[in-house]
Amino acid sequence: MNGVLSASKLMKASEVRKQCTEMRNNPTQMFVVEMRAKRKLSEMNRKVSARREVS
């Protein structure tokens, strides 16, 4: 299983490495983060499509 970490804030390299290690060691946490990201993306897509319908 490959994971991708996207930082939404500036982080030190050591912080990124620490988060990657935590995610690798805890697949459940990775799954939760992935589901939250997918939900946020779908909400953003809904907002964009709603704006297109109004225009």
Q: Is the pLDDT of residue 39 over 60?
A: yes
Predicted local distance difference test score (pLDDT) of residue 4: 59
| Three-state secondary-structure class, residue 9 | coil
Rounded mean pLDDT of 29-50? 90
pLDDT at position 30 is: 86
Q: How far apart are CA 43 and CA 10, in angstroms?
A: 24
- For residue 22, the model assigns a pLDDT of 86
pLDDT at 37 over 70: yes
pTM of the shown model: 0.53
Q: Helix, strand, or coil here: 42?
A: helix
Who has greater pLDDT, 15 or 3?
Answer: 15
